Structure 1
């Protein structure tokens, strides 16, 4: 007769999201990046080889965090039954509002990681995956618009539009980082005005929106 094996609580499985959470918690609590993967894993009671199943380095993990911010935003808006009925302008607005809600929920981490180096370009290296995904999102929107146009001369460049959308996101992130308004209301206004501007530019009716947006930026800069 064999002895019955006593059940033991299952160890919580390590996945990408849990690893990201552990890393972000470390950053917020220690206010610095971990020294080595070994020490980080030891402190969190996980095996070093488990870390490497998901990321090859802390740099790769940081890029993965931004990609997860994007993916989470897309997952949220895709669950809305009204989203597919939106115009492309409305879809872009919805994405930006949702994305910045996620950034706001993680503001302490975002501010730390985008200011940790004295070299701004070094801080932006972690955004390479986000850049690829954001440009893909913008290209998808413009592709839908172009497919609806029968005259080739009216079709817009996906490359130019996607690059403009990325520059727009970079501007909005800097604006949001410097925003001291209650509940970041000024960022909400900047999102709406900038999205309207970029779509008006591509719809060949830019002047009124560009002037309106320029006045807003000047007012914010001088206030």
Structure 2
């Protein structure tokens, strides 16, 4: 009697990746995929309901592993928001590079790019929550509605930046993808420089002071 495998989400992800890379495409059915694993189809459904769900989970799994690695470092908690975001990027794309052939296949599988990007929809939610947790401070404007819009815009802009980095990494042909590392560092630094509104805030404060003094006079 064949030994029963210890089925898990990670094992299914691994076997699905192997199938894609060796066969050049996804299995024709869940039944045949399960047959290859020597498991019953209902066992598969305990973890996933479709191949599309597996593919979406690939990117969230990278996210979960990244956060776990970051939180295992005592130094990470002492970093400022910019350094924490940089650490996230470098760690996430290290995992992507380790699985590059599989990732490239998933994101080029369909001619309709919107369908390919849909595989990142769950990652988008997790990433935006992560950015929100960094509590990046925009220019303080004393109006509650504007503050909420600003905070929401930060995570949305961060997601756009993440997608730009994703595209750069896909197209990167440099040795060890060193240009992607440079892109990450420069783009994150640039985005934080744009949000550093201290000089403008000082000008606004000075303007308020002059206005008050003018009214008094």
TM-score by length of 2: 0.84
Corresponding residue for residue 212 of structure 2: none
Quick one: higher RCO (CA 8 Å, sep 6+), 1 or 2? Answer: 2
Which residue of structure 1 lines up, in the alignment, with residue 30 of structure 2?
37
How is 1:116-135 mapped onto 2 (pairs within 5 angstroms)? 116-135=109-128
2:13 aligned with 1:20, yes or no? Answer: yes
Note the 1:75-90 alignment, pairs <5 A: 75-90=68-83
Q: Within 2, Cα distance between the matches of 1:202 and 1:95? A: 19
Could you tell me whether the CA contact under 8 Å between 1:89 and 1:196 is conserved in 2? yes
Given that 1:88 and 1:141 are in contact with CA atoms closer than 8 Å, whether structure 2 keeps it comes out as yes
Query: What whole-Å deviation, never above 9, does each CA across 1:84-122 have from its counterpart, x for those lacking one?
Result: 000000000000000000000000001111001111111
Name the TM-score, length of structure 1 as normaliser.
0.82
**Residue deviations 1:127-178, cap 9 Å, x none?**
11100000010111126x47xx998569672210111111111000100000
Task: Show structure 2 runs of 5+ residues with no match.
Answer: 200-217
Correspondence 1:158 to 2:145: no
Long gaps (5+) in structure 1: 1-7, 207-223
Structure 2 match to 1:51: 44
Match of 1:140 among 133, 142, 167: 133
**Does residue 190 of structure 1 match 2:183?**
yes
1:69 alignment counterpart: 62
Q: SS at 1:142's partner residue?
A: coil
Distance 1:20 1:199 in 2: 36
Corresponding residue for 1:113?
106
The alignment partner of 2:135 has SS state of helix
**Secondary structure, aligned partner of 2:32:** helix
Question: SS state of the match for residue 114, structure 1?
Answer: helix
Contact persistence 1:93–1:195 (CA under 8 A): yes
Which one has the largest radius of gyration?
A: 2
